[in-house]
Amino acid sequence: MSFPRYQSYKESGVEWLGEVPAHWELAPLKAATTNNDEVLDETTTGDTEIVYVDISSVDGVNGIKMKETMQFSAAPSRARRRVRDGDVIISTVRTYLKAIARIRAPEENLIVSTGFAVIRPRSKLMPDFLGFLVSASYFVEQVIARSTGVSYPAINASELVAILVPLPPAAEQTEIAAFLDRETAQIDELVAEQRRLMELLKEKRQAVISHAVTKGLNPDAPMKPSGIEWLGEVPAHWEVKRIKYLVAGNDGIQMGPFGGMLLDLDSENTGFKVYGQENTISGDFRLGHRWISRDRFTALRNYHVDTGDLLLTRKGSLGNALLVQTLPQPGIIDSDTIRVRVDHFVIMQSFLALLLHEAHYVSEQITLSKRGAILPGLNSQTIANISIIISPLTDQQQLMEFLAEQTAKFNTLTTEAQRAIDLLQERRTALISAAVTGQIDVRALSPTQAIEATT
């Protein structure tokens, strides 16, 4: 079953809107709303408590995700706009973020950023219908298209409320909003189920990795105490060693050069690149626009990057590890990166990369070392003293093959769940747009008929 359409339509006269039901009106949003009606009084005292909502706390699907309670004296200067029940807030800056939310039963002291336009419906526009109307894809696209500025696009509230919108009769607005409330709630629950599935897959994946790298693949293997209280027993033929005993020579663990050694960087491609955190986190060594001269590259030979090296981030995403597979051009690590070169007779570089990036017992040690550190971030001493459960090389190879197979299965299931989420969200967006523009007639649909129409 598909959704029914209205009996008759008329041209809207607007290319991006097309036809609308013949009995609907078409008017600028400002004809049915007011905007930015109320702001905090100039006499507001510093000890006044407010509940503040910033643009980053809002998205078009979940509405207001977070609120922050604070005294007015500590609030940002943009914390000024008052809202009431039935208002809709629309971001007028960074409009590509699609930060739109309906205001329902707000706290009396709820204040939103001046980066929002606060749209208040007049009597001919139902609040719930307004919420769906301005979150419809056609309206959002018009807001983005009319925004100016490249890095920080913005739109004036007066320009925003000049956008033409279709306006069905009030009773019909109520029916459409009730239909969309019901249908989007069902879609949102399906999305939530898929997100819960992804979390379970993530936990299961981590459990499989943790068990494999601490207990091995043979359930009948004899065990021995690991010597690490919270780790328990490990296979008897495995060893627990610090990373400093698993690396190659004196330069096995190398921190990047001091910042002062990288002052004379080139913005033009010299053929010798400076690699850093953006490369380690993304795995893409094409990113970045920092180069050094050939002479500087030669002088900084201790910091060269080669294929087979392990790179770790020192700050931000602490301890992110990446095995260098290919390099687009020769280069060095920057001051926020640590390079590790292993002793290939003791440990596979891919196995150590796995442990550093995936093993929970390793991340726990990194977290503990961070708590006790005087300076922020990782250093070579911290990495050197991390204890690793190391199996013989043959076992390492078997573990890598087993985990590659298992993680591929989890990744496939996770990808399928994400694809389902994407399709559901596309369906949600399309349903809202179709209903508020009159492309479908939902007035007479019962919940059962609506479900049949969506399948």
First to last CA, the chain: 7
Residue 121 lies in a domain: yes
Residue 440 lies in a domain: no
Number of structural domains in the chain: 2
Do 253 and 377 have their domain in common? yes
Listed residues 141, 167, 193: the one ending a domain: 167
Scored b (16 or more CB within 10 A) or e, 54-69 reads bbebbbbbebbeebee
Residue 45 lies in a domain: yes
Nearest-angstrom CA–CA distance, 289 and 279: 11
Place of tokens 């981590």: 206
Structure tokens at 295: 């002479």
Residue 6 lies in a domain: no
Listed residues 370, 390, 410: the one ending a domain: 390
- Helix (H/G/I), strand (E/B), else coil: 246: coil
CATH number for 30 = 3.90.220.20
The residue segments making up the domain with residue 79 are 25-167
Instruction: Compute how many other C-beta atoms are within 10 angstroms of the C-beta atom of residue 378.
Output: 23
Do 153 and 267 have their domain in common? no
Residue 289 lies in a domain: yes
Residue 234 lies in a domain: no
Beta bridge partners of 234: 224
Do 258 and 139 have their domain in common? no
Structure tokens at 389: 């459960």
Question: What single-letter amino acid sits at 66?
Answer: M
DSSP string, 5-66: --S-EEE-S-TTT-EEETT-EEEEGGGSEEES--B--TT--TT-EEEEE-GGGEETTTEE--
Listed residues 113, 148, 167: the one ending a domain: 167
Q: What is the pLDDT of residue 1?
A: 47
Closest CA to 111 of 52, 36, 27, 172: 52
Residues 125/439/60/410 CA torsion (nearest 10 deg)? 160
pLDDT in tens, the chain (455 residues): 488 999 999 999 888 888 999 999 999 999 999 999 999 988 899 999 999 999 999 998 889 999 999 999 999 999 999 999 999 999 999 888 889 999 999 999 999 999 999 999 999 999 999 999 999 999 999 999 999 988 889 999 999 999 999 999 999 999 999 999 999 999 999 999 999 999 999 999 999 999 999 999 999 999 999 887 778 899 999 999 999 999 988 889 999 998 778 877 888 899 999 999 899 988 999 999 999 999 999 999 999 999 999 999 887 555 578 999 999 999 999 988 999 999 999 999 999 999 988 888 888 888 887 665 555 677 888 889 999 999 999 999 999 999 999 999 999 999 999 999 999 999 999 999 999 999 999 987 755 555 555 55
pTM for this prediction: 0.82
Do 244 and 161 have their domain in common? no
Q: What is the pLDDT of residue 372?
A: 54
